[in-house]
Structure formats: structure tokens, C-alpha cells
Structure 1
Amino acid sequence: MRLQFILSEIGIGLRRNLSMAVSVILVTFVSLTFVGAAGLLQLQIGEMKDDWYDQVEVTIYLCPQDSDVPTCAGGQISDEQTEALREELDSPAMADYVEAAYYESQEEAYDAFQERFADEWWAQGLTPDQMQASFRVALVDPSQYQVVADQFTGRQGVEDVRDPRAVVEPLILVMNRLSLVAAGIAGIMLLAAVLLITTTIRLSAMSRRRETGIMRLVGASNLFIQLPFMLEGAIAATIGAVMAVAGLWFGMRYLVEDWLAQSVQFIPYVGTDEVWMIAPVLVAVAIALAAISSVVTLSRYTKV
């Protein structure tokens, strides 16, 4: 009997404040979509870091014949200089930083270049003499790149020391900033959702003050009186959360997995599995919004 009464009260409240309930659903949907997008973006950044940093190789470019870099004033690197660099990379002093070092000759660099750009007409006119020999250095810890760079930068016979992170990190920085923007918008929308849920519950409570007064006179507890109002906000917020999860799933499924992942294939993408991973968090946030709004409102507007 009590359950039937509570359900009927919820139905009455939602019908009386239908437009406000729809507004709560839409605001919750938009705000939690931004929350979910910020979370997925952080997961994407983590995925990219794990994948790319594992593949990071420092490249030590050796002096070619005609370089204007001061360390290449003596012309092309000599065999003795190359061997000295190889021995230092393999030395115990570098063992904590260098996992492995591979020498790539001009001929090997030419073969790799031709294999990669075999279909490009402009690549056909190059010769092995125009390529650059290098050492490819795999690191024990990619974050220790600067130690290796400082060790070999400015050495005679070394033209340049490069790390792919110089390309990766600006992209990650942009994505981090986008994530912060999404989180900021989400915060504003969540505040709007709390205010709107509070207003909805307040209007519902005020419109039924006579009923709540009668319930209190016959001995109904505070929880029994307040529960229908709390559930109204929770139901509306949960529907918004479910819509946000569905929107994120469709976005990941059709925009990321079916389109972006096929167009740009060198990036490891998060997918729909990650949406299901953050879905409970979004639902929990929606319920928390309703709970906070209920606590703020009901203690005042259900008093008789």
C-alpha cells in the first residue's frame, strides 16, 4: 500500500511539473555528456601516452657530408667517431637509460625510406649518399630522454638528437586543455542541473503542501513525506544520465570507431568499452545531484 501511494505521488508530481522535469532531464543530459566527454578524453590521452611512449626512440643523427652545424665542421662522421658513440651507448654508464641502440647506415636509411615512399615520384630521385646515418636508441624509461639528449648533443660527429615526444607532447597538451574546457563546461552545467532540480522539487513540494500537511497530521514520518519528491528528482536525473551514456556510446561507435579510427590509423583510440566503464560514474553523479538538491530543498519546503 505504501509503495503504491509513493508511486502515485511520484506520478502526480511529474505530471504537474512536466515541463520542469523535461528541463531537468535535458540539462542533466547535456552536463553529464560533457562530464563523460572529459573523462573519455582523459582516457584517450592516457592510451596515447602508454602507446606512444612505449615506442619512443631517441634518434641520434650523425653528420652528413654537407652540414652547416658546428659539430659537423669536419665533414661526414668518421668510422672512429661512430664506433666511439656505439661504445658509449653500450657502456655501463648508460645502462640505466639505454635499453638498446641500433645503428642505421645510409644504405639502410635509404632502403627504409624507399619502402615507405615507394609510390611517391619525388622519392625516386634520391640516392643513398643523400640519406643520413643514425643511431636509434630505445630507452629504459622514456621520461629520461633529456639525460640521453644532453649526453650526446654537441658531440663532434653528431648533427642532432631528436625525440618523437617533441611532436607527441604538443598534441597531448592540446587534448589536456580541451579536457579542461569540457570539464569547466560540465561544472557549469552541473550547477545549472542542481539549481533546476532544486527548483523542480520546491515547486512540487509547494504545490502539495496541503497533502503533506495532512500526512504529517496522521503521523507520517519525514522520510515517508519526502521520499516521493526525492524520487522525482532522482528519476529525472537518472533518465538524463542514461541519455548521456547513450549519446556518448553512439558518438564513440559511429564517429570514433567507424569513421575517425579508419581515417587516422596511427592513433590508438578508446571505444565503446570505455563508455560502459564510465557509465556507472555518470549515473552515480546524476543520483548525487538529485540527493544534494533534495537535502537542500526538502528540509524547508515539506515543513508544516
Structure 2
Amino acid sequence: MRLRFVLSQTFQGLSRNLAMTVSVILVTFVSLTFVGAAALLQIQVGNLKNDWYDKVEVSAFMCPASSATPACAGGEATQEQIDAIGDLLASESMTPYVDEVYLESKEDAFEAFQEQMADTVWAQSLTVEQMQVSYRVKLVDPEQYQIVADELEGRPGVEVVVDQREQLEPLFLVLNRTTLLSVGLGGVMIVTAVLLITTTIRLSAMSRRRETGIMRLVGASNLFIQLPFMLEGAIAALIGAALSVGGLLLGVRYLVEDWLASSTPWVQFVDTGDVLTVAPFLVLAAILLAGISSIVTLGRYTKV
């Protein structure tokens, strides 16, 4: 009997303040969608780092015949200098850092250039002798790329050392900043949702002062009086959370899995499993929103 009364009061309050209830649902939906998108984006950054950092190479380009860099003032790298770099990379001191070493000759570089730039004027004008020898070094731990780079830089015959990680860091920086932007927008919307839930509960409590007064007179407990108002906010917030999870599932399913993943199969994108991993936290956030709003409001408007 008591449960039926509490539920009837709850749904009566929701129907009385239907416009505010819909507003709470929509704001909660938008705010938690931003938060969920930020979490998924951070998972995506982690996936990219795991995939690409394992493929990071340090490339040591040997001096070509016509280099204008100060490191190549002595002219084209000699065979002794090329062999010295190979011996250094194969030495015991570099074993903990170097996984594999690949020597790309002028002929190999010319063949690769012709394949990649076959439709350009450069492909017709360059010759094998104009290419440069290089070492491609795969690392045991990509995080220790700087150690290998420091060992190679400044060696006789080495023109430049290129770390592929430096090319990836700007991408990860943009993604991380996008995550922070999503979190910031989600935070603003969460504050808005708290204020709306608070307002909804306050209006509902003020419109039912007579009923709560009668309940006080007959000895109803504080929890029994406040429970319908708490449920109103919780139901609205949970509906918003459900819409957020549903929106993220649809977005990942059709935009990421069906579109992005099919066009770029070599990239490990987030999937619906990641959304389901994030979903409980979004539901918990919705419950916390309703709880905080109830605590702020009910103590003032329904206290005994």
C-alpha cells in the first residue's frame, strides 16, 4: 500500500511538471552524451597508441652526395661510415633497445620512391645515385626512442635522425584536447542538469505542500515524504542516461563500425563493447545527479 502510494505521488508529480521533466531528460541526455563521447575518445586514443607506438621506427638517413647540412660537410657517407652505424645498432649496448634493423640501400629507396610517386614529375627526374642510404630501426620499447636517437645523432655520415613518434604526437595532442573539450562541455551541461532537477523537485514540492503537511500531521517519516520527489528526479535522470547510452550505441554502430572501420580496417576503432563498458558509469552519474539535486532541495522544502 505504501509503495503504491509513493509511486502514484511520483508519477503525479512527473505529469504535473511535464515540461520541466522533459527538459531534465534532454539536458541529462546531452550532458552524459558529451561525457560518454569523451570517455570513448580517450579509449580510442589508447587504442591508437597501442597500435601505432608498436610500429614506431627510428630512421637514420646517411649523408647523400648533395646534402647541404653541416653534418654532411665531408660529403656522401662512405661505406665504412654506413657499416659503423650498422655495427653500433648491432652492439650489445643497443640490444636492450633495438628489436630489428633494416638497411635500405639506394636501390631500395629508389624503388620505393618510384612506387609511391609514380605519377609525379619527380619520379622521372631522380636517379638511383641521388637517393640516400638509411637505417630503419624497430624498437623494443617505443617509449625509449630518445635513447636510440641520441646514439645515432651526430655520428659521422649521419645526415638526420627521424623519429616517427614525433609525427604521431600532434595527432594524439589534438585528440586529447578534443577529449578535454568534450569533458568541459559535459561538465557545463551536468551543472545545468543539476539546476534543472533541483528546480523540478522544488516546484513539485511547493505544489504539494498541502499533501506533505497532512502527511506530517499523521506521523509520516521524513523519508516517506521525500521519497516521491527523489524518485521524480531519479526517473528523469535515468531516462536521460538511457537515451545517452542508446545514442552512443547507435553512433558507434553505424558511424564507427559500419563506416570508419570498413574504410580503414587497419585502425582499431572503439566498438559497441566499449560503449557497454562506459554505460554503467553514465547510469551511475545520472543517479548521482538526481541524488545531489535531491539533497540540495528536499532538506529545505520538505523538512519536518
- TM-score, normalised relative to structure 2: 0.94
The equivalent residue for 2:290 is 290
Distance in 1 (CA, whole Å) between partners of 2:284 and 2:80 is: 65
Asked if 1 retains the 8 angstrom alpha-carbon contact of 2:33 and 2:248, the reply is: yes
The equivalent residue for 1:191 is 191
Question: Offset at 1:59?
Answer: 0.5
Task: Kindly indicate whether residue 28 of structure 2 is the aligned counterpart of residue 63 of structure 1.
Answer: no
Distance in 2 (CA, whole Å) between partners of 1:130 and 1:242 is: 62
The equivalent residue for 1:106 is 106
The equivalent residue for 2:89 is 89
Question: Offset at 1:157?
Answer: 0.7
Render the CA deviation track for 1:96-130: whole Å, top value 9, x for unaligned.
22222221112222333444556x35475244333
- Residue aligned with 2:102, SS: strand
The equivalent residue for 1:5 is 5
Distance in 2 (CA, whole Å) between partners of 1:169 and 1:265 is: 22
Asked if 1 retains the 8 angstrom alpha-carbon contact of 2:237 and 2:286, the reply is: yes
The equivalent residue for 2:44 is 44
The equivalent residue for 1:224 is 224
Query: Where does structure 2 lack aligned partners over 5 or more consecutive residues?
Result: none
Distance in 2 (CA, whole Å) between partners of 1:255 and 1:130 is: 45
- Residue aligned with 1:137, SS: strand
Residue 101 of structure 2 aligns with an amino acid whose one-letter code is A
Correspondence 1:97-176 to 2 at 5 A: 97-116=97-116, 120=119, 122=121, 124-125=123-124, 126-176=126-176
Render the CA deviation track for 1:54-74: whole Å, top value 9, x for unaligned.
110101111112111122223
Distance in 2 (CA, whole Å) between partners of 1:277 and 1:147 is: 37
- Residue aligned with 1:77, SS: coil
- In terms of mean alpha carbon deviation, does 177-186 or 255-264 score higher? 255-264
Residue 79 of structure 2 aligns with an amino acid whose one-letter code is D
The equivalent residue for 1:252 is 252
The equivalent residue for 1:213 is 213
Question: Offset at 1:263?
Answer: 4.5
Distance in 2 (CA, whole Å) between partners of 1:140 and 1:259 is: 34
Asked if 1 retains the 8 angstrom alpha-carbon contact of 2:113 and 2:123, the reply is: no
The equivalent residue for 2:22 is 22
The alpha-carbon distance between structure 1 residues 205 and 180, as it changes in their structure 2 partners (threshold 3 A), is: same
Question: Offset at 1:264?
Answer: 4.8
The equivalent residue for 1:72 is 72
Residue 245 of structure 1 aligns with an amino acid whose one-letter code is V
- In terms of mean alpha carbon deviation, does 101-110 or 41-50 score higher? 101-110
Query: Where does structure 1 lack aligned partners over 5 or more consecutive residues?
Result: none
Residue 215 of structure 2 aligns with an amino acid whose one-letter code is M
Question: Offset at 1:162?
Answer: 0.5
- Residue aligned with 1:204, SS: helix
Residue 71 of structure 1 aligns with an amino acid whose one-letter code is A
Distance in 2 (CA, whole Å) between partners of 1:102 and 1:292 is: 60
Render the CA deviation track for 1:203-261: whole Å, top value 9, x for unaligned.
11111111112122222221121111111100100111111111112222222223333
Distance in 1 (CA, whole Å) between partners of 2:45 and 2:182 is: 14
Aligned CA RMSD, in angstroms, stands at 1.7
Residue 60 of structure 1 aligns with an amino acid whose one-letter code is A
Residue 3 of structure 1 aligns with an amino acid whose one-letter code is L
Residue 16 of structure 2 aligns with an amino acid whose one-letter code is R
Residue 6 of structure 2 aligns with an amino acid whose one-letter code is I
Distance in 1 (CA, whole Å) between partners of 2:171 and 2:74 is: 37
- TM-score, normalised relative to structure 1: 0.94
Question: Offset at 1:32?
Answer: 0.5
Distance in 1 (CA, whole Å) between partners of 2:284 and 2:140 is: 40
Distance in 1 (CA, whole Å) between partners of 2:116 and 2:266 is: 15
Render the CA deviation track for 1:114-147: whole Å, top value 9, x for unaligned.
44556x3547524433332211111122122122
Distance in 1 (CA, whole Å) between partners of 2:187 and 2:120 is: 53
Residue 282 of structure 1 aligns with an amino acid whose one-letter code is L
